[in-house]
Chains A and B, each alone.
Chain A
Amino acid sequence: MNSTVLSTEQGSAGRHARLLEARTAVNDILLGKDNQVGLAFCCLLARGHLLIEDVPGVGKTTLAHALARVIGSDYQRIQFTSDLLPADILGVSIYKRDKDEFEFHPGPIFSQVILVDEVNRATPKTQSALLEGMAEGQVTIESTTHILPSPFFVMATQNPLDLVGTYPLPDSQLDRFLLSFSLGYPDPAEERRLLTTEDRARMLDRTSALLNPDDIRALQEDCEKVHVSENLLDYIQALLQETRDDRWFETGLSPRAGLALLRASRSLAFLENRDFVTPEDVKTVFPALARHRLSPTSGFSQSPEEQINELLAQVPIP
């Protein structure tokens, strides 16, 4: 499987090699989280945005930081608080007396990689300012439209909803995130390595960019060329159909979510250096894709993750 050559171009193969190097570098910093790191890269390649949901201190910020470092993009971190205003994200126009005009000062959203910490701590007004930018790839301030840079990759972290002082994101806005996962505690062996090896912050500083924005754009285009067979589409449709069965969830996955699933699966296949999507790719991205989009039917004692895994086990692979 690994013998596949995606394209005859030398540049393409080189790009891909550097992509894998970047992933390895992030894995070295974030020990024992290969799967999540893979999904994060997958999200980036699929032009999506990432939602990391977990308790503080498990490495959310480190992941975002490492990712931004290796992909060599300019990076901003925004800490959401309850008194944050939309202008704090988007930027403001300030009157310049000497020029007798307003000058636009772009906010932190005008970066290629943004880490939004604790996205559910801000008020809905501020949240929607961010999410609109994520969806449209542009922001409109005082009737002027500003195009956001490319690549544009938002990683948001979120505290579990039962913590005090949060504003849960509405379903329609959760849909803007392509994938979401939690990092979880490291397993004992990895934790021991974490405790004994050098400081992560210093490692981060030392990490150099392995890719550049042009590479990312090219890689994103390469992903779209990954082949999807009829058999695989059958499987995706079967999965979507199953989520719409009301014994599982309140509402099923939308066609937009289906498109997202296909995009994410393609990116994962590309990341694995394959020129076609397999059902395993779909199965790997599906929980991350469905978790924040589906709410279990009330009265179910299972967690959404358990529900999703059970659903996957119910759908035969054609």
Chain B
Amino acid sequence: MNGPGKKTTVWLIATLLLAMLPQLVSMPPAVLVAALAPLLWRIGSEFNGWKPLPPWIRHGATALGLIALFMSYHDLSGRRAAVSLLSVMLALKMVECYRIRDARLVVCFSLFLCATQYLFSQGVLMPFYGGATTILAMVTLTQLQRSEAWAHDTGPPPAKTSLLSELGFSFRLMAFAVPVGLAFFIFFPRLASPLWGIPDSTLDSKSGLSDSMSPGSIQNLFMDDSPAFRAEFFGAVPAASQLYWRGPVFWRFDGKTWKGGFYGRNIDAAEIPDPGENAWDYTIQLEPNERNWLFALDYPASIPPDSRLTLDFQLIRRQPVIQLFKYGIISNPDFMDAPELSSPIRLQALDLPDESNPRTRELVERWRQETPGDAEFVQRALQYFNQEPFHYSLEAPLLGANSVDEFLFDTRTGYCEHYASSFAVMMRMAGIPTRVVTGYQGGWYSGLGNYILVRQSDAHAWTEVWFSGRGWTRVDPTAAVSPLRVQQGSLGALNASRHLFDYSWLRGLRNSVDVVQQQWNDWVIEYGANRQAQLFAPFGLDRMSPAMLVSALFIALALFSVIIFPIVLRIKGPGRKDPIQQAWRTFLQRLERAGIATLPSDGAIEVAATASRRLPGDSETIYRIAHLYTRSRYAPVAPPFGELNQAIHEFRPKKKSA
């Protein structure tokens, strides 16, 4: 039985590895071992000539792989687990893959594996990754095809092919597929709702803000430069200091951690704000974060589809955001939230754990006696943050049981959640209703795409204080400590480099390049029924029925075929690939440049005779080439091609003057 051969096996493993790569990165260690060990064994066996493993070892390895999967994921129904299962099984297949048919199967499944990565990311780089995998797979398939063709044939030895020509061939095949793919993308009927959903939960670590806030939780996000969302404004963009993107709101404090409170209850429809005179109208492209919060500026006057607005103005989507989600929203910055505060809410907004933070309690009581007014008290607290030596820093020391005491009097170094938390506790001690709000602050304005890019590192925490007559009012204690945080963003406020590759020019570059991702999201990921309709509108086709779309698709495909098939046929044409013919053609071209015309019906010796008459000096070389060529083409045993090739390439006829 003929196998794929060493070289092809290496290609095969490379294809499989590339197809697995994004999955490998997110695999738990045990699964990683299960996926890599069979491949390592196979490479070792190719180069050291190890014998194929007996069946009981192979079955044992399969069982071990399954156990590793179960131990790591507990359940094989999730996306990650299923893709890992496929990866591990394909890797194990390599242990018994000694036939061309099996190898071909592995290549095809590798392509499928590569396609599954779109379940996790649909970023702008994914098509490049997919393309690279496809090209690699094509090269492998070509080699498999060739080994199979030679297996049954005792004919001429295989032509030496270079990697470059194989890559070029694969690339050409891919290039032919591109227009077809494009036609399918543009014309394939889009459904308003998908036929099947992507499973909700995965085992990936969720990114972004969480449903609780404790010291360090936002600080961690600061290290994460991935985009959280992009906002596109219709009309003027608000100033940086107004860009408080509201997310989870916290009411309950247990001495260390802030947790939610009211987001179970929806706001009454009548209470939803009017857009008002200074409304901001904008669209948000929310990156998948597998959470339910939608972000908006204060105060949302509209509710995106499938979402609800809670009593404390959190926008919550019914399903977690697992795909890029785009929603339009209107915000009214002048809205007054809760002019009256009901007593259950007031109680909740003043609730603190008993007997904690005695030093803070003492300080607050002293101040309260000196400053009875709520607004003045808030000012006094902010001044305290501003004037005492507080530092805004990532290197916050760990805090113990009385975290607010320790922070306010001892460490005095912290990130926004420290300030928000301490401030809220102080206010509640003073009897001022306060809640903690987390979200994002600021963002980077892209002039090129006219949108604001908000990264995870822009995560922020602030407070809202209720004043009688003014309702809930935003107070950002961090701004009192470090005004730069609000004006220039989190990175501007900290001079320290976060990690080895953290340079401001690099960050600037990344921000600028983000416009590509934004356009990609807008045109590719978000390309649905509406975009489709928009695209055909200029042709007077407002809303095409699926039948019309399919017809359009086939017309487009037919048109592409008309263009592509002649090219394909030309490429496949005989003689093009034959190096002997190519060398001979070079020779004829050189003769032609020297002014010697030949006919296609002239035999090599006839050509030589003609050429020798015109170039008597080169006669010997010319005849030698003609004879070598004739022997190469017609003799039972061809002379080495190198001899002919060299003779032709060294042949430089002198141009005849006159």
Chain A contacts to B: CB under 8 angstroms: 1, 227, 229, 231-232, 275-280, 283, 312-318
Q: B617: CB under 8 A from chain A? A: no
A312, B601: Cβ atoms closer than 8 Å: yes
Report the bound CA distance from A281 to B635 in whole Å: 13
Contact of A316 with B634 at beta-carbon distance under 8 Å, contacts A1-B627, A280-B606 already known = no
A279, B636: Cβ atoms closer than 8 Å: no
Q: B630: CB under 8 A from chain A? A: yes
Q: Which of B564-579 contact A (CB under 8 A)?
A: 574-575
Question: B601, B604, B627, B636 — which one has the most chain A CB atoms within 10 A of its CB?
Answer: B601
Q: Which residues of B contact A276 (CB under 8 A)?
A: 631, 634-636
Q: Which residues of A contact B635 (CB under 8 A)?
A: 227, 229, 275-276
Report the bound CA distance from A251 to B21 in whole Å: 67
Report the bound CA distance from A315 to B602 in whole Å: 9
B634, A229: Cβ atoms closer than 8 Å: yes
A278, B602: Cβ atoms closer than 8 Å: no
CB distance from A63 to the nearest CB of B (A): 26
Q: B493: CB under 8 A from chain A? A: no
Q: Which residues of B contact A315 (CB under 8 A)?
A: 601
Q: Which residues of B contact A279 (CB under 8 A)?
A: 603-604, 634
Report the bound CA distance from A280 to B600 in whole Å: 13
B633, A229: Cβ atoms closer than 8 Å: yes
Report the bound CA distance from A275 to B605 in whole Å: 16
**B600 (CB) vs chain A CBs: closest residue:** A316
Q: B599: CB under 8 A from chain A? A: yes
B601, A278: Cβ atoms closer than 8 Å: no
Which range contains the number of B residues in contact with the other chain?
10 to 19
CB distance from A51 to the nearest CB of B (A): 26
Q: Which residues of B contact A229 (CB under 8 A)?
A: 633-636
Report the bound CA distance from A275 to B630 in whole Å: 12
The 4 lowest CB-CB distance pairs between A and B, nearest first, are A316-B600, A227-B636, A280-B603, A279-B603
Report the bound CA distance from A275 to B635 in whole Å: 7
Q: Which residues of A contact B634 (CB under 8 A)?
A: 227, 229, 231-232, 276-279
Q: Mark B216-258, 1 if CB is under 8 A from A, else 0.
A: 0000000000000000000000000000000000000000000
Chain A to chain B contacts (Cβ below 8 Å), 7 pairs: A229-B634, A276-B635, A278-B604, A280-B603, A280-B604, A312-B601, A317-B603
A-B contact sample (13 more), CB < 8 A, given A1-B630, A280-B603, A313-B599: A1-B627, A276-B631, A276-B636, A278-B634, A279-B604, A280-B605, A280-B606, A283-B606, A314-B601, A316-B601, A317-B601, A317-B602, A317-B603
Q: Which of B601-628 contact A (CB under 8 A)?
A: 601-606, 627
**B599 (CB) vs chain A CBs: closest residue:** A313
CB distance from A199 to the nearest CB of B (A): 36
Q: Which residues of A contact B602 (CB under 8 A)?
A: 317
CB distance from B626 to the nearest CB of A (A): 9
Q: Which residues of B contact A316 (CB under 8 A)?
A: 599-601
Contact of A313 with B601 at beta-carbon distance under 8 Å, contacts A227-B635, A229-B635, A275-B635 already known = yes
Report the bound CA distance from A1 to B639 in whole Å: 11
Report the bound CA distance from A277 to B606 in whole Å: 15
**B607 (CB) vs chain A CBs: closest residue:** A317
B605, A278: Cβ atoms closer than 8 Å: yes
Q: Which residues of B contact A280 (CB under 8 A)?
A: 603-606
Report the bound CA distance from A318 to B630 in whole Å: 11
**B627 (CB) vs chain A CBs: closest residue:** A1
Report the bound CA distance from A275 to B604 in whole Å: 17
Report the bound CA distance from A312 to B606 in whole Å: 13
Q: Mark B624-653, 1 if CB is under 8 A from A, else 0.
A: 000100110111100000000000000000
Report the bound CA distance from A316 to B606 in whole Å: 13
Q: Which residues of B contact A318 (CB under 8 A)?
A: 574-575
**A274 (CB) vs chain B CBs: closest residue:** B635
Q: Which residues of A contact B575 (CB under 8 A)?
A: 318
CB distance from B629 to the nearest CB of A (A): 10
Q: Which residues of B contact A283 (CB under 8 A)?
A: 603, 606
